[in-house]
Amino acid sequence: MKLGDFGIFVIFAAVYAAGTLGLPKISFMAYQIRIGEIPSAFVALFGMPAVLGLTLGQFIANLGLESKPIAFLSPVFSFVGLLAIYYTRKMSTLAGCIAYIVITGLWLSVMLPIVRPEVSTSQAAISAFAEQFITVIVGYLAYLVAARSLGKPGQTSGPQ
């Protein structure tokens, strides 16, 4: 990683950790919307430093939340989802974001009933996918605005 990439890495780690720990939680059904996941689509613009930063930020946020040890596996699934965005960015950032939603939504659907036993499996699945969809699509729309304003070639022609 180059020195310039380190700044991007730190910013994305801080955005995720601060967005999750420092901002008020938004409840949606059985799950909390994590503001820190909104910049996931920006991996298409900022590359691997953003992938690593968001993954570390999620790990840090999980340390600060009162959760069970199984929640510490979440950054692994997030990392895989972020890699999907990273590797599909030239063909379709939207496809990568959908892959991220599916990967992390499946994991959260499994994890949520373990962490919160009062939540049914079906309620967990609905909540997890809805939360991930809302959060990531908001980030994707922000990504489209940023990509257009930066004038990135190949990133500005229609939905990606």
pLDDT bucket at 13, cuts 50 / 70 / 90: very high
Q: Nearest-CA neighbor of 41 among 84, 91, 104, 103?
A: 84
Q: What separation in angstroms does the CA of 150 have from each of 50, 127, 156? A: 17, 34, 9
Percent of the chain surpassing pLDDT 90: 52
How far is residue 90 CA from its own chain's centroid?
19
pLDDT at 16: 92
Q: Which long-range contacts (CB under 8 A, 24 or more apart) does 5-10 make?
A: 5/47, 5/48, 5/49, 6/49, 8/46, 8/47, 8/49, 8/50, 8/53, 9/49, 9/50, 9/52, 9/53, 9/56, 10/53
The CATH number corresponding to 3-150 among 2.60.40, 1.10.700, 1.10.1760, 2.40.160 equals 1.10.1760
pLDDT at 156: 42
Q: The whole model's pTM is what?
A: 0.86
pLDDT bucket at 157, cuts 50 / 70 / 90: very low
DSSP tag of 91: T
Residue scoring higher pLDDT (112 or 146): 146
Average pLDDT over the chain reads 86
Please give the average per-residue pLDDT across 42-47, as a whole number: 95
pLDDT at 116: 82
Q: Which tens digits make up the pLDDT trace of 125-143?
A: 998 899 899 999 999 999 9
